[in-house]
Every structure is written in structure tokens, then in C-alpha cells.
């Protein structure tokens, strides 16, 4: 097996997808931002009106999804038809669970767009909370669901 | 305690740092991309000349560090004076360890730039390897060291 | 009635347009930059060869139209097929009238692209004239015509 | 009088500010988005929890301020030290009043950054409300206060 | 003959391509970065493992191709389906030969994307080598092949 | 000799300039766009009022100079204090001569900004003229003058 993003001479390239049909595609990615319980309490307070950190992170994630091909060198540009982000505080972590759903009609999948939305939303939340908590960790960033295109549906266990 | 990125009315804002002095700052962030052993073998092969995935990811991370304030809504723009990224394959994960070092002389810290470099380098590696491995996970993204500025040196345990 | 850019839980999202057909779309937006008569005279002089401020503003507006989805968080990216800008000095204001025409074949309308072109062209003109006139005002920025898509033709009175 | 953004031959240029000292600067810009009373009611409802359109617009305005030099051709890049936006529903318009405050320590003023923040926040609000109201108008976009630098303090009447 | 990028009144515009069909398109552009023989030796050394300057330049060129419409004012945005870059050291110059191949399915050609990829890859190589050689020159940047669309195949002699 | 943009392990990096003092810097770069005599006649006609292709190219070059660090991976971001571009038709080529002058007060030089301005201005001119002339060539892109910083003044012969 070899990596498709590199030619026979080992040179990186944006692979040719011009022969692929345009199909409806969806990807769902997820991740968590783990934090101290007191930090999570601050997030929850903001939610009820004194500073909506989750709302800011959601916007940052949506905007980042649209810039994925600008950030990831060998990623194809795609006209996204939907981006949505769920950000849920969870005491069991403790921290915030993030999930992004992205759709397009195009020649390549949208996993990278969903993963980028989750990553930048988590970074944005980190930025707003870092004065209160220097030990936060972003983790569990992965693709949960992918559908559309030749490789079919993949749902992670 | 309340979040400094929000005013008394709860409105998000880029906080006023104009009264802070410009000081030398450094931040080191780290993370891992966990993958199957066979995928890690592909990364190692590329390294010896048939497709340098780690080299591509390194460049993406450096470029992303420079665009941090463009991605993270309340982050101050900073003229970075250094960005370096280490990407090391590690069988113990199995996967790739990432670490970013960022320096500036400015009024705010560079943790977000270092975390952004690690995140986008990991996403770029994910993009190049995703055809081979659908179960990769990005995790452990955190600040390891931060120095300069009023809050002094923080080294994570 | 509720806003489509927010889900039932109140979370902002880029709405799903994947089920909409691609149709030919047009939008025309307009606005004015009001200024002192002496400032308008400077604009007119430039036009005849000593510094074409209108030409610079036109280019800025066209470039901004292409970046609309990058600036406006919940706006869908669209491959524009035409952008044109008219900038006309008018003594009756006194000031400059701006109008932008944008076309695409896509799943959403192009009002935001036309409004962004007008706004950034007006800001660019403001920038070049502000040393001469500190009292300029941008106003009357609105959609004059919109056609294509399910909601049909709207021509403002 | 002639325009400083053009040389003697009429060619546009980014003027040389290298001889100017770095000083503390502030600018406040304002504007309004006029709408139907029923549309303003939707904005107010969202504010109390079902979709915070003002919060989204505020973030878009802050991010746009940081990209001013990227949008306005002859504008100098500046490391902003503060950006804040007030968005207030006002029945007397009816509509939303916008005001942006921007600070930097630099060689040029920040009027353009404040005006850009107001304009893009207004466009973002327009985008979220346009399905409900096709007759909205952006107006009254102007500088209210400017201070710092050789030309001193200007407060508009 | 007159230039299509300007209207009858001489105003620049992004021309209307909405009536053109979407067809498969390809363009190949080329160029050279001429340098001293000792500088070329440094490039070759890096290639064998101590600093892959050609690899960095290739990534920069691919990323720049995706941003062509953002850099060139009257250029239409296009969803590229392939970008590949060849960078070959050549003692006969002495220097590095660059060639970029770009494909899309769209309403306009991709010459500008291929030329932008070559130019930015050459600039990136220049940046990495400039401490060693102040006399380098970028030249011979031109379109070698263009196909697809109404004007048919052009192969330069 | 080895390349400073790569570490001892061969990894690319943005080199650490934090110990360098901020000094006044200037760079002048030049280049040519060679074309058929009939194409050059079109450029000259536009200049006298029917479509100012040189004016559009000048703006594109100035804007590109400000985005240099965004395009060139290992380039440091710099707050430019001046960008000016001269574009002169020349029958002796035949074609257009381009020259860019860039100034900053910073820790690194501005050669790359000047070279980027020339390259993007030439590409923009190419774009507007390509329907008339498929044989144009960009060449002679080099640094003519560089001053400021530890390495002193370099004037190319």
C-alpha cells in the first residue's frame, strides 16, 4: 500500500479527482475539551447569559470549516452546503463535547471539514478559558460517521 | 471569577492589552495522532524518501500558526519571531507525537499559536493517511510550557 | 416566524441547502458615500488622470465579493460567475453612488456578495479620502434587485 | 489639495509611514441597520435565548476588524490591541445601532478597522434576517471619535 | 480589439461567464529559478535528506494555486480537481525548473492557477536560498499547455 | 554552508529572529512581462482611459505584498510601512517593466514582500491580457536593492 497524496517519485500533490462523480456527502466528527470542574462551571454560567463562550466557539468552528482547503495543503476546495456544531458541557469528562456535521455535493468527502470545525471550535473555547485553567486538554478528535462517495458508509464503533 | 473575553453585559470582545508591555514570550504545545501500526509504518517509509508526510504536515502547522488570529475570534494578532515543529513517530502510541515551539515579542502570550500549529499539523497528517486508516484519533493537545509576560513561567507536569 | 440560521435549541448554523437545485441567480445592491462638495471635486479630478480613487475602490469591492463567505459566518461559499461595480459621482448627494451586480449558478442567492462589494468599495473610497474629509458617511446600503431561486424576483421600490 | 494615496504620476500606493512614531490610538465608529418592527422583534427574541443573532454579528465584526488591511488595498497592517462592538436594538429606528471601538499602538489610525467592524457586523445581521425582511438598509456608517497620532482628537458632533 | 476585463466605460469587472458550459480543463505552466552553481548544490544536498527545500516549495505552490482568485482581482473562483508541481534541479541553467499542472471542471480556464503555483513555488525557493545567494532570478514563467473550453487546445512551441 | 530554514535534523522551520533588533529596512524588486507589440498597444490604450490594466495590476501587487507571510511558508509576518509599484510599458522589450519598493521597521528584510508584489502584479496583468496574447512570459524577477539590517546594503549590478 502507498499514500495517494504522493506520486511515484515521492512528490506531494493534490490528487486528481476530476473523473469522480459529484455525489451527496456527509461527515460527522467529534472531540472533547477536558477541563477542571470549576472551569466547566464558568462555561455553564456563560450559557445562561453572562458570556456565551459556546456560541463564540460554534461560530469559529463553522467559519473554519469553510477554510479547510486553505489550511490543509492537499485538501480539495469544496462548496459546503451545511455546517452545524453541537457543543455540550458534560460533567462526566468534566469538559465540553463537540460534534460537527458537514454536508456537500462534491467529488471528495468532507471528513477534513468536520474535523477542522471541531478542532478550531475547541481551540476557541480553550482561548476564552485559558486565563482560568492552564491544564485543559483537547482529545478524542475523530470521524464518527462518513457517507457518500465510492467508499460508502462508515460508522465508527 | 469571570471570563475576561466577555464584558459586564456578557458581550464577547477582544480584550484591551494596550497597557501591557511588550515582552519576550515562548510557548510549547504538544499532541498525538494515534493510528494503526500499519499506518505508522507507511509514515516511516515516506520519511525515507517515497513521500514525506511529516514534512508536509510541518509546513501546514507553521503556516497555521501565522493565521491563528484569523481563525480564533478573540485572539490578538502577533508578529511571530519563531515557529518550529517536531513530529516524531512513536511505536508506543502507536502514532506520531507533535510538538510546536513559538516565540514572539509582544503584549500577549503565544499558547494559541502553538496549539493551532499542533492541531493543523495533526489534521494535515490525518488527511494524507485517511485513505489507509479510518480509525485515527487526535488527542493530548495541550500546552506544555509557557513563559514571558506578567503571569510568569508555567511548566506542565 | 423564526430565524432559519438557528436550530430549535437556538444554536447558530450554516443551513442545509443540499436539497435545493442549482439555478441562475442575480443580485444588485446599492449604497452611497456622502461627502463634502470639495471632497467630491477631488474624486472627480482623480478620475481624469491624477489618481483614480474610483478605480481602486472598484477592485476592492470585486475582491471582497469573492471573500463574502469568509467574512460572514453563516454564508454559503458560492463560485461567482460575474461581479461588476458602478461608482458614480453625484452632486445631488454630494457624494458617490455605488451599485454592484453579482451573478452565480448555485443553491443560494448572491445578495450578501453584492452588499459586501458595495460596502467594501465604499470603505476603500473612505480610506483614500479620509485625510481630506472627516465627516463622510456611508448609507443607503440595500438590495435593489434579486432574482433566481425558489423565492422568485424581488425588485425594491 | 491632493490625495496622499496617489503619487505625482497618479499611481496608487500604500503611503510611507516609516518616519511616524508609534503612538496609542483609538477610533469609535457607528452605524445602523434599519428594519421592519416585526424583524426587530425577532432580534429581541433571539437575544433572550432562541438564537443570538447579535452575538454572531459581534464575532463577525471583531474578526473583520483584524482583516481590514487584507480588504482595503492601501490600508496599513496594524497589530490591534482591542476590538469591542456594541449592538443595541432601538425601536426609534426601528433597527439595531452598532458601535465599534478599536485600539492599537501604531503608526497609523484605526478608523478603517472600526468602520470595517461596524460594516461587517451589519452585513452579518442582514444575512441572518434577510429571509424575514427584504427591505433592510445599512446607514449612518461614520467615525464618531478618533484620537492619537499627529492630527489629534476628533469628536464628531 | 479590446480587453474583456473592462466595460465600455473602461471600468474593470469580473466578466460574466454564467452562460458558458462547465467543461474539463487543464493547464500546464512552467518557469525557472536561476542561481549560482554552489546554491544549486545546496538544493541537491537538501533533497537527499538534510532539508528538503523543493518539498517546501511544492507545498507552497499547491496552496497558492487554491488561492489564485483571492490574489488576482478579476479571476473567477474555481474548485480545482488537481494540482501537481514538478521541481527539477538543472545544471544547464544552473537552477531549478518548475512546472505546474492544474485541472478543473468549470466555466473558465486554469492558466492563472498554474502560473500562480509556479510563481509562488519559485518565490518560496528564493526565500529559503536567499541567505546563500543574492543574485537569483525568476524567469521564463509562461503557459506551456492549455486545453478544454471554447478556445480549444493550445500547446506552446 | 547550510540553509538556515532547516534544523540540524533537516526539518523546515521559521527561524528565530527574536534576538535581532528592529531596524528600518527597504527592498526594491523588479521584473518584466514580455508580450507581443500589439498587446502592448492595448495596455497603452487602456492607460489613456478605456480600461486601466496597469492600475488594476498595481493594486493587486500592493495587496499581495501584505499577504507575503501567508503565501511563503517560512517567511516572518511584518507590519509594512510602505508599498509602491511602478509599471512602465517599454517598446524595447516589448512589454511592461515592473518595480516594487517596500519599507518596514522590523527584524527581517522585505525582499520577499517586494518580489511577491512584482510577481502578483505581473500575474494580474497576464490575466487581463491573456485573451489577446497566449505567448506572454514573466521574467527577470529579482531583487535590485536591499538595505537595513545586519547584512547592510546590497545593490545589484
pLDDT digits (tens, 9 = 90+) for E119-141: 999 999 999 999 999 999 999 99
Quick check: A100 pLDDT over 70?
yes
Quick check: B69 pLDDT over 90?
yes
Return d(Cα F139, Cα E33) in angstroms, integer.
Answer: 10
Query: What is the model's pLDDT at position B4?
Result: 84
Quick check: C139 and D136 CB within 8 A? no
Question: Would you list the DSSP string of A67-136?
Answer: THHHHSTTPPP--EEEEEEEEEEETTTTEEEEEEEEEEEESS--HHHHHHHHHHHHHHHHHHHTTT-S--
Q: Which of D146, D152, D99 is nearest to D122 (CA)?
A: D99
The H or E element that residue E123 is part of is helix E111-129
Average pLDDT over residues C76-94: 95
Return d(Cα D54, Cα D59) in angstroms, integer.
Answer: 9
Residues of D in contact with C144 (CB under 8 A): none
Query: What is the rounded average pLDDT for all residues in chain C?
Result: 92
Q: In 3-state terms, what secondary structure has residue A5?
A: coil
Cell numbers describing residue C146: 434579486
- Tens of pLDDT, residue by residue over D17-67, are 988 999 999 999 999 999 999 999 999 987 655 568 999 999 999 999 999
Q: Which of B68, B65, B125 is nearest to B97 (CA)?
A: B125
pTM for the model stands at 0.96
Quick check: C74 and D67 CB within 8 A? no
Q: Does D110 touch chain B (CB under 8 A)?
A: no
Determine which of A120-134, D46-60, D130-144 has the lowest per-residue pLDDT on average: D46-60
Least Cα separation, residue B98 to chain A (angstroms): 13
Least Cα separation, residue E59 to chain B (angstroms): 7
- Is F133 part of the annotated catalytic residue set? no
Q: Which of residues 46-105 of C touch D (CB under 8 A)?
A: 46, 49-53, 56, 59-60, 63-64, 67, 71-75
Q: Does C127 touch chain F (CB under 8 A)?
A: no
Query: What is the model's pLDDT at position C8?
Result: 80
Average pLDDT over residues E89-117: 96
Q: Does E45 touch chain B (CB under 8 A)?
A: no
Residue of F10, F51, F128 lying closest to E49 (CB–CB): F10
Q: Does A4 touch chain C (CB under 8 A)?
A: no
**Residue that is written with C-alpha cell 454564508 in the block:** C75
Cell numbers describing residue C68: 463574502
Query: What is the model's pLDDT at position B1?
Result: 58
Least Cα separation, residue B70 to chain D (angstroms): 7
Query: What is the model's pLDDT at position E47?
Result: 62
Quick check: B82 and F15 CB within 8 A? yes
Phi/psi of residue D51, nearest 5 degrees: 150, 100
Return d(Cα C11, Cα C5) in angstroms, integer.
Answer: 8
Selected catalytic residue, list B52, B88, B90, B127: B127
A124 → chain D, closest CA residue:
D59
Query: What is the model's pLDDT at position C102?
Result: 97
Least Cα separation, residue E63 to chain A (angstroms): 6
F47 → chain C, closest CA residue:
C49
* Residue C76 annotated as part of some ligand binding site: yes
Amino acid at each position: 500500500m502507498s499514500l495517494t497524496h504522493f506520486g511515484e517519485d515521492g512528490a506531494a500533490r493534490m490528487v486528481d479527482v476530476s473523473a469522480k462523480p459529484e455525489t451527496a456527502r456527509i461527515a460527522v466528527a467529534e472531540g472533547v475539551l477536558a477541563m477542571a470542574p470549576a472551569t466547566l462551571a464558568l462555561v455553564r454560567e456563560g450559557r445562561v447569559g453572562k458570556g456565551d463562550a459556546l456560541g463564540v466557539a460554534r461560530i469559529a468552528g463553522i467559519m473554519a470549516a469553510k477554510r479547510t482547503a486553505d489550511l490543509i495543503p492537499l485538501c480539495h476546495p469544496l462548496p459546503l452546503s451545511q455546517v452545524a456544531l453541537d457543543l455540550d458541557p458534560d460533567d462526566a469528562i468534566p469538559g465540553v463535547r463537540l460534534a460537527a456535521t458537514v454536508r456537500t455535493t462534491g467529488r471528495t468527502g468532507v471528513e477534513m471539514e468536520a474535523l477542522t470545525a471541531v478542532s478550531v471550535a475547541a481551540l476557541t473555547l480553550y482561548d476564552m478559558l485559558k486565563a482560568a485553567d492552564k491544564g485543559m486538554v483537547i482529545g478524542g478528535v475523530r470521524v464518527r460517521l462518513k457517507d457518500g462517495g465510492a467508499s460508502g458508509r462508515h460508522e465508527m464503533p
